[in-house]
Chain A
């Protein structure tokens, strides 16, 4: 079985599971799963997601050679499965989470410490469906041992100095230089997957839009598309365009805040203030014309909940023009300040090989030569009808991530203009049929690719939903990025990543 097999050829050897859309899902036996590990070791298949369900484990993969996508599942009656962590290190934290939530044991996983379970839940393995299972994890957590002379540790968090999400960072330093950073997350774990189960689609959609508030539009689209796939429905055409309009507004608003915040962490508050003025123009436009500043609950399964009126169109046209102009000036300032670039150039480098090994997407991956954008591959409407560039840079430092975001903002302006000009008329919403099925979607949030997987029951309720935030594959790279940098540059590095805590803690 050696050699260059495509993902589809490989999955052809499994037992196809009917009713999984739009990509195939197959059932493997344990031998097949081991064969899969073997193939992954020699093939360019990107790990898109890995999640548990009862005594089953699912893995979603993309063959980067031809862009094909598929899901493989393994039934593990004895609650054990061969770990993927050796061939895809991005799987490590996912498997630790699966062990915490489902009690499925990844065989061969080197790091068996709990991840999401801090020993404070009232029940153990909450998604395993075992009644009365008592918690086992202890609130004490052993950080990796560090040895060496004159090293000291700085524990930071979960409550940080700024207004940001909670997480713990354990820095080991030699003088000012960070020798190692170890992250401990899971503080915002809300049990979203368990809350999803059993909910009617409409209610679950609301929840999906609150997995990571800054990406509410992207999550809502991902959920809606997964539901539409599962039920064989299609959103109203105009809705596809409005979804993209919302998504690009969200992308710009987030990038603006982050670009400003990065400059602010280098003590240049002016840029943050100006970026926030631009951002605020978008949010108040959203509020006036769409009824919510962050656009929560505006995307619903089957379509969208709000239209772009003629008046809004003309206001938006002027707004984009003003934003473009204002943004251009700010970019010129960033480009023109050696003292600012002194902090960002060469800081927090992520090597391309690492981005590749972890399958990191979004601007974190693309600033380290690891391309890919779900709007292009696999692509979804209306992006196939729109022209836009996906910037990629090789340097992998904070500066590259800033520029990447700058270029993405500019690309999004172009997208918005095209959308306004070509958006078709028609209905905003089509009813989603009440039927069972399995659906998956990949949607590009401002951070990168979100994977959403749902199984619906015949009465239209969510049986199982798994959202995989792009941050899962980016957080580990932050640990690498800061190595050898000074502690004072951590805020810069961290902001240039701006991973989601809530999205990855679930």
Chain B
């Protein structure tokens, strides 16, 4: 019975979820500039994201999972992570893009339908971070894919990630 009791307690306790952040204003500007006419497609305020770890240290993944968890609860904003790039509007990339992952990253992007957006999450994905200059990394997502939004941090906190994705969502949904 303890599970039922726990569930009942949870219902009475109310949500564990904290308030969401506002869309990152810096991100909004950057996006409006970059996305242009591709954002004309209306997505009905929902975004499906396929995440690709292109050689991260796994720190960024931990924070994505946190953002997905009950405290930040990404899904309430209409943003969700999907298992296949075929269902994705956004390719969210972490890591400095290792030479060993470059092909898989490209193929994942190619498999996503148009229109699609690319988000580089974390310092590594932006310019290679502390792995820049190594023989085994390309040094940032922009070496392989056109990047629409960068979310800096090592790793970006769930709130930063959320703010960035909300900015993307707003830009895409309003078609600005």
Q: Give me the interface of A with B, judged by CB distance under 8 Å.
A: 118, 120-123, 126, 158-159, 161-166, 186-192, 194-195, 206-207, 210-214, 216, 257, 270, 272-274, 276-277, 279-280, 283, 287, 293-294, 296, 329, 332-333, 336-337, 500-502
Contact = CB atoms under 8 A, between A and B. Distances in A.
A189 B71 contact: no
Given A213-B56, A273-B70, A163 B135 contact: no
A281 to B, nearest CB: 9
B69 interface: yes
Interface of B: 2-3, 6-7, 16, 51-66, 68-71, 81, 83-85, 95-96, 98-104, 108, 129-131, 133-137, 154-155, 157
Contact of A163 (B68, B70, B137): B68
Given A165-B56, A187-B104, A280 B66 contact: yes
Contact of B16 (A122, A186, A212, A277): A277
B135 A126 contact: yes
8 pairs of A and B residues whose beta carbons are closest in the complex? A213-B59, A161-B83, A276-B69, A191-B136, A191-B134, A213-B57, A120-B99, A210-B57
Contact of B155 (A161, A280, A294): A294
Contacts of A191: 131, 134-137
A96 B55 CA distance: 20
Contact of A161 (B61, B62, B84): B84
Nearest to B64: A163
A214 B85 CA distance: 26
A195 B99 contact: no
18 contacts: A120-B100, A121-B135, A163-B51, A163-B64, A165-B56, A188-B98, A188-B100, A190-B131, A191-B131, A191-B135, A207-B130, A213-B58, A213-B60, A276-B71, A296-B59, A336-B2, A337-B3, A502-B56
Contacts of B16: 277
Given A165-B56, A166-B101, A213-B60, 5 more contacts: A188-B101, A195-B130, A210-B130, A280-B71, A293-B63
B104 A283 contact: no
A55 to B, nearest CB: 20
A107 to B, nearest CB: 27
A158 B101 contact: yes
B71 A216 contact: no
B24 to A, nearest CB: 18
A158 B2 contact: no
A216 B135 CA distance: 23
Contacts of A122: 99, 135
A195 B134 contact: yes
Contacts of B134: 190-192, 194-195
A280 B69 contact: yes
Nearest to A293: B157
Given A158-B104, A163-B51, A166-B101, A213 B69 contact: no
Nearest to B71: A280
Nearest to A126: B135
A430 to B, nearest CB: 25
A257 to B, nearest CB: 7
Contacts of B136: 121, 126, 189-191, 194
Given A164-B61, A214-B62, A257-B65, A195 B104 contact: no
Contacts of A502: 55-58
B119 to A, nearest CB: 13
B83 A332 contact: no
Contacts of A293: 63, 157
A195 to B, nearest CB: 5
Contacts of A162: 83
A276 to B, nearest CB: 4
Among B53, B102, B129, chain A packs the most CB atoms within 10 A around the CB of B53
Nearest to A190: B131
B128 to A, nearest CB: 9
Contact of A188 (B56, B84, B135, B155): B56
Nearest to A162: B83
Contacts of A274: 6
B91 to A, nearest CB: 10
Among B53, B56, B136, chain A packs the most CB atoms within 10 A around the CB of B136
A164 B53 contact: yes
Contacts of A161: 83-84
Nearest to B72: A280
Contacts of B60: 213
A329 B62 CA distance: 24
A270 B10 CA distance: 10
Contacts of A188: 53, 55-56, 95, 98, 100-101
Among B58, B62, B135, chain A packs the most CB atoms within 10 A around the CB of B58
Contacts of A187: 55, 98, 100-101, 104
A500 to B, nearest CB: 7
Nearest to A167: B53
A333 B1 CA distance: 9
A213 B64 CA distance: 13
A163 B57 contact: no
Contacts of B81: 163
A211 B57 contact: yes
A366 B164 CA distance: 42
A276 B70 CA distance: 7
Contact of A270 (B7, B64, B96): B7
Nearest to A280: B71
